Every structure is written in C-alpha cells, then in structure tokens.
Amino acid sequence: MSDKKRTEIAELGEFGLIDTLTRNATTANKRTIKGVGDDAAVIAAGRDDAMLVSTDTLLEGIDFDLTYFPLKHLGYKAVVVGVSDILAMNALPEQIMISIGVSAKLPVEALQDLYEGIDFACKELGVDLVGGDTTASMTGLVINITTIGRAKRKSISYRSGAQFNDLICLTGNLGAAYMGLQLLEREKRVLRDVENPEPQFAGYEYLLQQYLKPRARKDIVEALAEEKIVPTSMIDISDGLASEVLQICKASKCGARIYLDRIPIAKQTSALAEEMHADPVVAALNGGSDYELLFTVPLAMQEQVMRLGLVDVIGHITRESTGAYLVTPDGNDIRLRAQGFKE
Ligand code: ADP
Ligand code: MG
C-alpha cells in the first residue's frame, strides 16, 4: 500500500466510493435478482415472489445529535429509515433487525426509550423486530437497521425502469426535515451557554416533526397496489431530490426535466428559510431525510395516478443525451447536481 497512489475519499464522493468498492461485486447465485445499486437487494423466494433486504447505519454526531434528538424519536426514525428503502422498491416490510453500539455514557433507561420508539414504529408499520446485535462503542451511539420485505417479483419497482416520456411523481413535500434540523442547530448554538434553555420552536412544529419523526410512506405502496399501478421506477428521498433524480437517470440511462414551481414545499419550510436567509428550493433539492417516494409512471397513467390524491407530478423523463435539468418558472434550465455525504 505504501508505494501506491493515495486517493482522498472526497475526490470520489459517496457514490463514487461505493462504485469503486463494489466494482467486483458480481452476483453468482441464481436467486440473487438484484445486488448493489438499488434501495434494497432483491432475492428470489419461490417462483413469483421475492425477498427484499436493505441495511442502513445511523451514527451519533453524523446522523443525529443526542443533545436535541429524543431517544424515543430516534428509535422510531431508525425504523422509518430502514422501512423506507423497502417501500422504495414498491414492496412491503415484514421484519427488522437492529444492531446497536453503545457507549457507557448512556444509562439503560435511555436505551429503553430508544426501544420504546422502535417498538412503536414496528407496531405502526406492521414490522416484526426479529433480532440484532449489541456491542460497546468508543465513539457514541451507533444504530444499524436491516429490513426485510416481500413482494411479487412483477410488482417490484427498480431505479432502472424509467422510460422516455414517463411522468415523474413525488409524494408529500420536500425540505421540511432539513429546515427542522437547521432550526434545532440554531437553537443549540444560541442556547449553548444558557442555564435553563427555552428553545423557540413556535410555529415550526411541523418541521421538527418531519426531522425527528418522519413518516414511512407505506400508505403510498398500499394505494398503488389498490389502483394496480406498478411504477416503472422508484426511489426514496434520503439524500435530496436532486441526488435521487440523478440516481434514477443513471440507473435508467435517461434524462429528466423537473419543474421548480411544481416542487411541493410546505409553508413552514418557506417561512423558516426566509427567516434564516436560506433558499427553500435548495433545502428541497439537497436537504434530504424527507423519506418521501419519487417514482415514474407512463404518461398514459396520469389520470390514474392523480386519482390517488397523494402525489404531485413534478416533471418528466427525457432522453439520456439531454441530461437532467431543473426548469425555473422563467424558463431557465439549471443542470441538476448531487451532493452526497451530507452531514
Ligand atoms: P440508500 O440511500 O437508498 O440507502 P445508498 O446510496 O446508501 O442507498 O446505497 C446505494 C447502493 O449501494 C445500495 O444498493 C447499497 O446496498 C449499496 N452499498 C452502499 N454501501 C455499500 C458498501 N459499503 N458495500 C456494498 N454495497 C454498498
Ligand atoms: Mg433509498
């Protein structure tokens, strides 16, 4: 290693790093339908069915700050983060395994709070906690979540299925979780040396909820099944809209046009962004942690998809050669760029 070239991780970025590390990860088992490269791996289970598996890790100091993240909420959110990747395959989650690395600074009661949140989310989402692992950590709390789901093989939506002219659909609104985090960070800074801190959250409760207790969009996957809609592609919004649109474009070898004025942004998101001299569109594009679903359907399904009453059409799929763009209301095209490795 000493005489080899040294490459900084930052040169590759998160997705470049994953690509580099998994270059040799070809699949040889015939039941491995999809390996690296989607929200979950897909494994054949019987002739028509498949099992889906995904894993996520949350690190104290990187993904959450225990000074303002209640452990009960953190437990709930950990399950949502895990389940979201299964939902993003148009599949339903069934089991979850949670592994924790714990430092001695947390008492047992705090970990019981964490598990109260985990149990609550599991019951709400119909998921069984079936195992995990417990180790000591020198660097703060570590939570790893492995989620297992099931689906009919023909109803699975991959990132790679988007077709020319498909509509790009989005559930919920974007940027609220990111602005919730900005609010918590601001109050933490302002109240750092105050003895009995009283953070000012009035009017922004929705933002806090979206960051501390986001919902998993199981309702969407159920509504799609009811309407017999199988999205041509799907992904969940964990890294921000721009990054997720680019993931679909890369996997589906297509381009996209997203219309800025169609991106749903909640009132509280815009209000706090204005107060903090930030751009709510940047929060929506790059903020992430929304755990909404982004999917594509054929143009002919527009009416059917609008009937769900749960989604906005924010753009459409174009040819790969035209690239991925954000179209502003005055008709300017801005090339979409991903961020990755957010903190
Ligand atoms: P998501 O944001 O949906 O959780 P990621 O961007 O984390 O997805 O991962 C993209 C793909 O890369 C997934 O298929 C994931 O399983 C895979 N992946 C990520 N990190 C690694 C790793 N260190 N080794 C092998 N596969 C990985
Ligand atoms: Mg995902």
Q: Which domains does the chain have, with CATH numbers?
A: 38-155 (3.30.1330.10), 159-191+200-335 (3.90.650.10)
Task: Say yes or no to pLDDT of 84 above 50.
Answer: yes
CA of 328 to the centre of ligand 2 (A): 27
At residue 266, the pLDDT reads: 98
pLDDT of 245 strictly over 80: yes
The average confidence (pLDDT) of the chain is 95
| Rounded CA separation 281/109 (Å) | 40
pTM of the model: 0.95
Q: Are 214 and 292 in contact (CB under 8 A)?
A: no
The atom number, within ligand 1, closest to the CA of 25 reads 25
Q: Ligand 2 center to residue 193 CA distance, Å?
A: 38
Instruction: Give the distance (Å) from ligand 1 centre to CA of residue 203.
Output: 36
Give CA separation, 330 vs 26, 44, 327, in Å: 46, 48, 8
What is the pLDDT at residue 237?
97
70 pLDDT exceeds 80?
yes
Question: How does residue 3 score in pLDDT terms, banded at 50, 70 and 90?
Answer: low
Q: Is the model more confident about 153 or about 191?
A: 153
CA-closest residue to ligand 1 atom 17:
36
The pLDDT, as a whole number, for residue 37 is 95
Q: What is the pLDDT of residues 100-121, one digit of tens each?
A: 999 999 999 999 999 999 999 9
Range from 188-202, 227-241, 288-302 carrying the lowest mean pLDDT: 188-202
- Residue 343 has a pLDDT of 31
Give the sheet arrangement for strand 32-34, strand by strand. 32-34, 41-44, 49-59, 142-152, 92-102, 128-136
pLDDT at 200 over 90: no
* % of the chain exceeding 90 in pLDDT: 90
pLDDT confidence of 342, banded at 50, 70, 90? very low
Please tell me the number of the ligand nearest to residue 55's CA. Answer: 1
Question: Ligand 1 atom closest to Cα of 88?
Answer: 3
pLDDT digits (tens, 9 = 90+) for 39-49: 999 999 999 99
Instruction: Specify the ligand 1 atom closest to the Cα of 85.
Output: 3
pLDDT tier for residue 191 given thresholds of 50, 70 and 90: confident
